Amino acid sequence: MAFRVLIAFVTALWLPVTLLAAESSSCSKDAHSKISLAAAAAARHDPSLDRFRAIPQQLHRAYLNGNDTEVESLATEELHLASQYPCDWTYGDAIENANRYLGLLSLRRGDLAAADEFLLRSGNNPGSPIENNLGPNLDLANQLLRLGQVHPVEQYLTEVQSFWAPGRPQVAKWLNAIQAGQRPFLNGLKAYGTLGVVGGVGLVLILLAVPELIVLVFIGATRRRLRHRLSFFLIASVLANASMWPIVAIHSVESKAPTLVLLTPILVIFLLSRLWIHRFREPATASP
């Protein structure tokens, strides 16, 4: 009975998370109706969505292999599929990726005007959990800047500031340098510095271990009453991760995310610990 209550609790927990996803989506109102379709497609392993997720690697390989025809075909296909999944978390990545490769392809062909246009299109996207934190790929912008295409690069850098919050100070420095006649090398890692990169890696490692750390804290606090601690640790870790990571994905860049991310697994593990102690409590010894 206790475990049925736990399952009901976790199920109920997912409902507000799903609703929060709809509310926090950057999609337009017209696209909101496609959220459920995208979720249903993911649940049934929609081949179109699988294809949408697989194209970036294929596009990268085609470009490295010099297969220009395949690059153009794959980039066009990626943009077409992106229009079908405007609420997918990789939508912004797809817009940036496809247009960037089309721009690089235009550079190979010596068409600077087309490369400039694709650069601007690549920056004109709503962002994504990856782009919002790590920034866009700047290789096309770098090459165009070296070729003297200053104005399009300035427009592009101004555009990406709308979603790349951590990179805004560095982008401002680049824009000032460009306006001063310099040609700085656009490296996204400079937005964070050496300490920032090391700290970011450390933060990721800590974040990955957060569910298990929370479980260990609960075990330490209730060790005298908690039996079968190894089994509890394994089950609690699974539930903590299952309740935490969907919220991380949905609210990756929102200010309210840290509280929600930590509170949810804590509540789940707390309830599990109460049920666990009740289920496996030691029988009372009979008084003489």
Q: What residue ranges do the domains of the chain occupy?
A: 2-11+195-279, 45-191
Q: Specify the pTM.
A: 0.62
The confidence score (pLDDT) of residue 13 equals 45
pLDDT in tens, 69-124: 999 999 999 999 999 999 888 999 999 999 999 999 999 999 999 999 999 999 99
Fold classification of 45-191 is: 1.25.40
Which CA distances in Å does 207 have to 19, 152, 215, 216, 221?
Answer: 24, 38, 14, 15, 21
CB atoms within 10 A of CB 166: 16
CA 139 – CA 30 distance, rounded (Å): 34
The single-letter code of the amino acid at 200 is: G
Half-sphere exposure of 177 (CA within 13 A, CB side): 14
Average pLDDT, rounded, for the chain: 79
The confidence score (pLDDT) of residue 40 equals 47
If we measure between CA atoms, which residue out of 137, 80, 140, 135 comes closest to residue 105? Answer: 140
Which CA distances in Å does 75 have to 52, 193, 245, 246?
Answer: 11, 32, 30, 29
Q: Looking at residue 104, what DSSP letter applies?
A: H
